[in-house]
Amino acid sequence: MCGIVGYTGTQEAAPILLEGLKKLEYRGYDSAGIAVLNDNLLAVSKVTGRIANLCEKTADGKNCPGTVGIGHTRWATHGAPTDTNAHPHMSNDGKFAVVHNGIIENYIALREELIQKGYHFDSETDTEVIVHLIEMYYTGDLKKAVIRMSARLCGSYALGVVCTDEPEKVYVVREASPLIIGVGVGENYFASDVTALVSYTRNAIYLDDGEFAEITPETIVVFNPAGHPIIKKISRITWDVQSAEKGGYEHFMLKEIVEQPRAIKAAIAPRIKNGDIALDEAELTTEYLESVNKIVITACGSAYYAGCAGKYAMEKLCRIPVQVELASELRYNDPLIDEHTLLIVLSQSGETADTIAAMKECKKRGAKTLAVVNVVGSTIANTADYTLYTWAGPEIAVATTKGYTTQVSVLYMFALYVAKKMNRIDKEHYEKLLKILSTLPKKVQETLDMNSAIPALAKKYHNADSMFFIGRNTDYAVALEGALKMKEISYIHAESYAAGELKHGTIALIEDHQPVIALCCNESIMEKTMSNIVEVKARGAEVLAVTFKDNQKMVPLADDMIFIPKMDAIFAAAVEIVPLQLLAYYVAKENGCDIDKPKNLAKSVTVE
């Protein structure tokens, strides 16, 4: 969840490092630091708190002269957020500095060994063992010292290393944590993700696990784990600076909510050709699909809830059992996975540690893996057998919105694709559903347009102590994500509940004025949910119902209404969630919350 950046070239490094760290701050932060090489000396500046504090301390980099440097934003895992625990970490002889994203799992044993050998530790971090190992192994050849150091580490790490003896060089190492090299002209960069690079270059080299590189202003040499040079392709970063900026919106989250019609269109339109779905990146044969006896969807957080939403369409259309598993559970459950399991891995960042681990566990057991991810070149994308990118563009707000709706849309598309491939759907039904799928962007736009009253609703509900989100079937799946949105940005406790379950205990909690958000966008069971609304109303609840704009039956039942365009429930979740995203956003705004960077949260949970 940390962020690392680095530069070597002819410009002053510090301002470039600080700008890169600002772009990474959304990944999670509690401290930050930079190390800059000048006249063969390393100058290190570290602070707790926001990057702004570091800019102030370094006078926007002016008092850190030099053209080579590394930087870091930290989300504490080992050791409290303090200046001392902030990165970069220095060797005892002052020759080396290191920044690290990840977790060194064997750091305690290494720390004891290094202390016994006379090395002094300043911090409580796992990272500090790295810089002392380099010092210990350094005999004048930094590359050899980096190789020997890496061989001692267990865990996940994306590293940046500088050395006063080799002032133009920066070494980077990648193992289970993202690391991208930005290719410039007469200067080169590295970072944890492209948002820190895109202002300077759109040419990127994505390192894979075990690889490391020696970077100078003029050269980039990538090595395999054995230390042999390898050729890596240079990818083009298509995200432009504007798309990674706020674009005039007060928060990235609102910008990304409003971007959803475009994002969903980008996810599905290029894969619909001549009235048919073409998944060139995931050409699963009919023979293979016939051999699949279950589909397992695994993910974390909102991505897990996207899987819950996609499950209904997949089971209904493909007639294959679909189970949705939390990655943090699946990885340790000794899962019943084999070559007849298709594993679908959902992740916006493509770097979520639990999801990566669950995928690797299932691959070991023979499952074929299909990743549905947003970040190009991410670990999950590169590890899966097949990858369907969601093409949502950079998602900066910690609370995902377009990441979720594009994942759900891709799952809908995949379900329809498989159903046709397996002759489980007739031509007429296929064409009808394909048309609905194609209109999702328009339906989302209509939903955005018809819900200008949500800020007023937020003023009514923003003081709630708690909220219930209830629904059945596809509505229940949306209730899961709606509750998480409310919790993670407004800090109001919110519980999602299967509406039919309330009477089995939880209805005991319903008292006068208890807000209940009731999702009623599935006509097959709408009457049942309406009776649940009557039940909670009878106990004093204040009901905000989400339903189709022409559903007047609901009006006398609920206290407030939110409407979406009428549509088939099978593909409704990607539309139905939008007003709940807006409700959470405006409630959080009313409460003065830090919407894009909610407390305790990071955009990408790259550690367990």
Residue 138 vs 252, nearer CB to ligand AGP: 252
Residue 347 vs 490, nearer CB to ligand AGP: 347
For 365-398, letters b (16+ CB in 10 Å) and e give eebbbbbbbbbbbbbbbbbbebbbbbbbbbbbbb
CB of 138 closer than 8 Å to CB of 131: no
CA gap 75, 53 in Å, rounded: 16
Helix (H) / strand (E) containing 144: helix 142-152
CA gap 158, 209 in Å, rounded: 9
Residue 318 vs 484, nearer CB to ligand AGP: 484
CA gap 342, 152 in Å, rounded: 35
DSSP symbol at 12: -
Can you spell out the DSSP letters for 300-348? -HHHHHHHHHHHHHHHHHH-S-EEEEEHHHHTTS-----TTEEEEEEES
Closest separation in Å from C-beta 350 to ligand AGP: 7
The number of beta carbons lying within 10 Å of the beta carbon of residue 345 is: 30
Closest separation in Å from C-beta 190 to ligand AGP: 21
Closest separation in Å from C-beta 375 to ligand AGP: 8
Residue nearest to ligand AGP (CB): 301
Residue 133 vs 396, nearer CB to ligand AGP: 396
Closest separation in Å from C-beta 321 to ligand AGP: 24
Closest separation in Å from C-beta 589 to ligand AGP: 16
Q: Which residue out of 95, 421, 597, 603 is catalytically annotated? A: 603
- How many CA atoms does the CB half-sphere of 383 hold within 13 Å? 29
CB of 160 closer than 8 Å to CB of 89: no
Q: Which residue out of 2, 55, 520, 521 is catalytically annotated? A: 2
Q: Which of 392, 382, 377, 327 is nearest to 355 (CA)?
A: 327
Binding site for ligand AGP (CB under 6 A): 300-303, 347-349, 352, 355, 398-400, 403, 488, 604-605
CB of 146 closer than 8 Å to CB of 171: yes
- Asked about 2 being catalytic, the answer comes back as yes
Q: Which of 525, 529, 470, 526 is nearest to 494 (CA)?
A: 470
Helix (H) / strand (E) containing 274: none
DSSP symbol at 242: G
Closest separation in Å from C-beta 349 to ligand AGP: 3
Query: Could you tell me the two tokens for 28?
Result: 């999670």
- Asked about 154 being catalytic, the answer comes back as no
Closest separation in Å from C-beta 3 to ligand AGP: 15
Please list the active-site residues: 2, 603
